[in-house]
Structure 1
Amino acid sequence: MIQGKSVLAIIPARGGSKGIPRKNIIEVGGKPLLSWTIEEAKKSAYIDRLIVSTDDEEIADVARQYEGEVPFLRPKELAMDDTPGIAPVLHALELLPKYDYVVLLQPTSPLRQVIDIDGCIEKCLKEQANSCVSITVAEKTPYWMYHLSDNDVLEPVIKIEERFLRRQDTPTVFSLNGAVYIADTNWLQKTQSFLEPETVGYVMPKERSIDIDNQMDIVIFEAVLRQMKN
């Protein structure tokens, strides 16, 4: 609880995955991917209840091994490849009402720390915002990105009168890192999106913003993890 407001945290972990089969429970850094998020979220000073939303019995068992609560199994129709990411959150809020804020923690961000979780929650309330999401400095600047026309002519994604010749001269831009999303529950149920014009951003460092999507991401994750331990 924070400032008298109750907080529900949801870790979505469906059984299907095209990029990496059984991604949410594969072993990375010596333990299941899902466990990294469970263990860090349980350190939070503000989360009142932490649940794992899954459609898969094996994933549910792994979650429980790491003291993650699985109060229900998500319907299969809410765990398809084309299921919107907000769907399991809204489903959980229907079954577990009366929380003031909801936090979404994707298991594919294993290096996110409790300082990021609680920092994002704190910023949301400090700014009196309806939602706050974690971001990090973008690896590539959109000022050097182009569309390719039908006749293969380069068309700038961002059209400006004067070109930037050096990267350090380009404006700093940020991208979503998928690590932490928080929103007022009533507002979220109305908008059905964490990302609206009034959403504020919480900046996370690059080394804690790794998002596991393919095998190369696992290699990078374990390399960063070794470096952090050293």
Structure 2
Amino acid sequence: MKAFFQTDQGKVRSLNEDSGAVIPISASDVFAVVADGMGGHKAGDVASQMAVNYVKEHLDTYINDHEDTKGIIHSLIEDANQDIFTYAQDHPDCYGMGTTIVLLRATEDEIHIGHVGDSRCYKVTQNSIEQLTDDHTLVNELVKSGQITSEEAEYHPRKHVVLRALGTDPKVEIDNLKYTWEKGEYILLCSDGLSNKVTAESFVKVINQDVSLEDKVARLITMANEAGGEDNITLILVYNDVETEEGALT
């Protein structure tokens, strides 16, 4: 399993409110997390960093305490939410802060995802891309209810209104997802600073270029900045290089 993380402030924002991390467990088992601090609230950078730090600092304990991956991920996000919310209540300058989160565990044949907000997770193959997460946004709800089209959603004035976030309330609703994947496929986690600026078709094209994982990530960030770079840009690219039949790395 190979993974690479990078974050960029973008060309407009004075502060990077995104955070992320890759946490390897073994050669064929990796956790990855992306969090995007709420730009409309105070201390979005604090909230996103707290979410990522909570995962990094407590992951081993949760792995030991839970038998299944769904329980690990769900409990981590649930408790990180409470941690951020409590901190905000005790620090007036951080009151109302929040963050999105997409937390992934990738093993040789399965991916498990916990998700809150509008940061995304995609699966990319040689010829296709699939968005695995569902945005928790106002415009996405309007699209699903048929009130606006997907094309109209791209330019909707309330496009950035997030309906679910970590840290804004004592309880949070979490999407728990499970998929299979195969050797040669990629998982892309990203904040909306990337997904709002780079098309799905461009994701497939860049990710399948014959360059290093680091170069793929750098090129996607460059494309987002060239398209305006109005938001922070964060992504993690995970590549399945595991030979599943033999259970060994190539």
TM-score band, normalised by shorter chain: 0.3 to 0.5
Normalised to the residue count of structure 2, the TM-score between the two structures is: 0.32
Normalised to the residue count of structure 1, the TM-score between the two structures is: 0.34
Bigger relative contact order (CA 8 A; separation at least 6): 2
Task: Please identify the structure whose Cα radius of gyration is greater.
Answer: 1
